Amino acid sequence: MDKSQELAKKEENNLEQSKREASNRRYEITPAVDIFENEDEILLHADMPGVKKEDISVNIDNGTLSLAGVRHLETKGTANWEEFYDVDYVRTFSVPQTIDVSKVEAELKNGVLRLHLPKSEAAKPRQIDIKTA
């Protein structure tokens, strides 16, 4: 085999390896989040497009809220151009100890994870009646 054939063969092998590596890529992304607070709860909306409900985990432990989700893309055929890859969405927050963890609710709709973090009764503001003598 002459040198030009050897070089062409090496380039072809490198191209095939690059294609395999590209198809196995997974990026870690910080999801965009909006946080709102009212008297009863903290509301958190996290943008996680393409993530299925079963691929999301939400944990609250010792004042830390952890969000994680994985977007898996199903592809068919040979890729001619790729700009979308599998993605790991990861984000953590400090949350007050006054969150009633047993009542936390989560829902996923249109790629947005909505968390309802209710405040415990002790943490809610309350009106104090003033008595006159």
Encoded tokens for 110 = 């249109």
Q: Are 112 and 56 in contact (CB under 8 A)?
A: no
Q: Is the pTM of this model over 0.75?
A: no
Class of domain 26-122 (CATH, top level): mainly beta
Longest pairwise C-alpha distance within the chain: 108
Q: Where are the domains of the chain?
A: 26-122
> Pick the residue with more confidence: 19 or 108?
108
The partner residues of 87 in beta bridges, in order of sequence, read 27, 71
pLDDT tens digits along 86-98:
999 999 999 998 8
